[in-house]
Structure 1
Amino acid sequence: MLVAVLVPATLICVAAVAAPRWAGGDDPSASASAAGPEPSGSGPAPRPAATSSSPTAKPRTTTAPPTRSPAPSRSAAQRAGRPPRVPASGPGTFAVARAGASSGGGNAYRVEVENGSGVDPDEAAARIADVLAAPRGWAHGGARSFHQVAEGPAGLVIRIATPATTDRICATGDMNTHGEVNCRLAEVVMVNLKRWQSGSPEFHGPLADYRALIINHEVGHWLGHGHETCPGRGRTAPAMMQQIYGLKGCVSNAWPYDAKGQYLGGPSVR
């Protein structure tokens, strides 16, 4: 059963901007440490969520890539190579992803999708779980694990929302997303539906990779990483780079680590 979750009236964010500052993954916050907890060990302690009953689903963690859910049937627009239609606004209520949820653990997170967005919450959660468990992601080398929950404590909430809803929630943290990009406010990551469904014209790669960049960039902020920029022409763009504003000579990249486990960083942006 899908549960509708009302958007909180206020979300805490101590970052304030005089002009829009968007991230390459692509949020307007200038750094993670300004709005969220510093990383400690395997990540921040979970925070209480709106519900407290225990789920009955069999526990599962994302320390290893989870089994992918069957892909949904492709729409006519997708078969024609066009991105699906993105509604400009929605009701501001969210359905919680329940398939694959566990009873919690370190780095517990919840996935919510705005009602009427056209995105299946469980399908989106499966894709996000894959990203969080990937060897080149933040769980590389077993450094940390992430646990999807449907109820109970969750220190991270990932919401996919229409542009208007994203703008409204991000504005509570004095961030102007212009109907185009994502933001993060404390433990809440707002993923703009437009970016989730159509990617970015500046990112040279498949949509699945751009979705991975969104999640890696925003979770990187949540773990305490700030923005970085291109380390040199022809080199790999950091996942913490604002890639939506251009690559500055770097090559598009969605992942914080390379295949050998080396961090793909660049000069810090203050």
Structure 2
Amino acid sequence: MQPPRSRQGRRRASSHRRAAAPPGAGGPPPPPMPPAGPAGRGGRGGRGGRRGGGPRRPVSGDWLGDDLEREFEGARRTRLRGVIIGVTALVLVAVAGLGAMAYLSFGGGTKHAAAPPPARETGAGQNGGARVESEPSDAPIVKPTRSLYIPTKGTGKFLLPASGSRVFGHGKVMRYMVQVEGGLRQDPTKFARSVDKILADKRGWTASGKWAFQRVNSGQYDFVVQLASPKTVDKICGSYGMTTNGTVNCSGGKQVVVNLRRWLLLTKYYRGQPDAYHALTINHEVGHRLGFGHMTCPGRGRLAPVMMQQIYGLKGCRANPWPFDAHGRFLTGPAVAGK
């Protein structure tokens, strides 16, 4: 026979029996868990359903689930893509930097003068379009009757007369320079006066009333007339893409380059007329600067236009070195296509 237990002992035993009993085995069901609040706490204000805070909801690895695992995996992939994009951008920036350095090293970032236009480019003279044209290398010349000093190569340095000139004519003033290469035994002042006389003639370009001319030796200019040795002519004309073979003149951009050999030996169509041939040379090239292209003979027995390449042959016309006749009429002819 067991001694009677106290009320407290009986109460503890009853609690043990209830704890050991499986759910649904006769005892009352366990109280429901309070809903989770912010930061995993139950109830409002982060507390449980009773004063002093309720029990926290247990967290286990199973509770994370597949969705959260997929989110972590997506985040890892996003970070990986970000790293790849960042590295690629850095590589591109480095390549661009190296390219820029190479560009500068080879002069790409240096400001240069504009490249010379290609040979035989037609345009509008001083109005912005460059024109390059040369005489044919097989143009006939006159054999000299006396010894002439025609060096193959000069010093390569050009000399200017000491002063300029007054303005010739009325209209838009075209400023020009005259230069003579050193080593030619040619007086720069004498050559400059020859050019001045040609441009001031009443049969010259001033006859139109549209243009006037003034020679300058500094500042801005519209064109320059240069007397040069055959080798120097080849060098200058070659920079414009032309082959002159040391025998002919050329013009390109603002440069009118007169070959000393051609200036002294003339052409058979102007035999014994050096002044007339010199006038043809200057007026023809200045005509290009004013925007005129090549022309051809307008008819047998008529005066050849100054813009005709008369050294090719006169084609039935009479030799003429002036753009206007004695009555102020412009001597023109059919245009030569592409020239």
Note whether the superposition's TM-score is higher than 0.5: yes
Aligned to 1:14: 117
**Aligned partner of residue 302 in structure 2, secondary structure:** coil
Is the contact made by 1:14 and 1:173 (CA closer than 8 Å) also made in structure 2?
yes
Cα displacement (A) at 1:83: 6.0
Give the whole-Å Cα distance in 1 for the aligned partners of 2:208 and 2:240.
34
Q: How far, CA to CA, are the matches of 1:267 and 1:207 in structure 2?
A: 27
Matched to 2:155, the amino acid is P
SS in 2 for 1:263: coil
Contact 2:166/2:215 (8 A) holds in 1: yes
Deviation at 1:157, TM superposition (A): 0.8
Structure 2: distance between partners of 1:184 and 1:163? 14
- Extract unaligned runs of 5+ from structure 2: 1-111, 131-143
Establish whether residue 38 from structure 1 lines up as the match of residue 127 from structure 2: yes
The amino acid across from 1:38 in the alignment is N
2:332 alignment partner AA: G
2:160 is matched with: 96
2:54 is matched with none
Considering Cα pairs closer than 8 Å and 6+ residues apart, tell me whether 1 or 2 has the greater RCO: 1
Measure, in 1, the Cα distance between the counterparts of 2:179 and 2:270.
25
CA–CA separation in structure 2 for the residues paired with 1:261 and 1:83: 39
**Structure 1 residue 189 corresponds to structure 2 residue 256:** yes
Cα shift at 1:92: 1.1
Aligned partner of 2:331: which letter?
L
Give 1:133 shift: 0.8
Q: Among residues 202, 207, 215, which one is paired with 1:148 in the alignment?
A: 215
Once the two structures are TM-superposed, the CA of residue 100 in structure 1 deviates from its matched residue by: 4.0
TM-score normalised by the chain length of structure 1: 0.71
1:125 to partner: Cα distance: 0.6
Q: What CA deviation, in whole Å up to 9, does each residue of 1:12-68 have, x standing for no partner? A: 54233xxxxxxxxxxxx464x26x4339xxxx9xxxxxxxxxxxxxxxxxxxxxxxx
Number of residues of Structure 1 aligned to a counterpart in Structure 2: 208
Q: Select the structure that is richer in helix.
A: 2
Moved over 4 A (4+): 9-12
Q: 1:151 to 1:88 in 2, by over 3 A?
A: same
Of structures 1 and 2, the larger Rg is shown by 2
Call closer, same or farther: CA 1:222–1:141 in 2, change over 3 Å: closer
Opposite residue 206 of structure 1, the aligned amino acid is Q
* Structure-1 residue corresponding to 2:313: 246
CA apart distance, 1:184: 1.1
Mark the runs of 5 or more structure 1 residues left unpaired by the alignment: 1-8, 17-28, 45-79
C-alpha RMSD of the superposition: 2.5
- The change in CA–CA distance for 1:10 and 1:179 in structure 2 (over 3 A counts) is farther
- Matched residue SS, 1:197: helix
* Aligned partner of residue 215 in structure 1, secondary structure: helix
Change (3 A) 1:157 1:14: same
Change (3 A) 1:11 1:195: farther
Counterpart code for 1:200: T
1:134-145 → structure 2 map (5 Å cutoff): 134-145=201-212
Change (3 A) 1:248 1:10: farther
Q: 1:234 to 1:83 in 2, by over 3 A?
A: farther
Q: How does 1:1-270 map to 2 (within 5 A)?
A: 12-16=115-119, 29=120, 31=122, 33=123, 36-38=125-127, 81-82=145-146, 84-101=148-165, 106-204=173-271, 206-270=273-337
Give the partner amino acid of 2:189: D
Shift of 1:88: 1.3
Residues 254 and 12 of structure 1: CA distance in aligned 2, closer, same or farther (over 3 Å): farther
The percent identity for this pair of structures is 43
Distance of 1:186 and 1:83 partners within structure 2: 34
Deviation digits for residues 76-105 of structure 1, max 9, x if unmatched?
A: xxxx953622111112110012244469x9
Q: CA deviation at 1:191?
A: 0.7
In 1, Cα distance between the equivalents of 2:165 and 2:145? 32
Please state whether the residue corresponding to 1:146 is helix, strand or coil.
strand
Tell me if structure 2 keeps the 8 A contact 1:98–1:149: no
Q: Is the 8 A contact 1:95 1:113 kept in 2?
A: yes
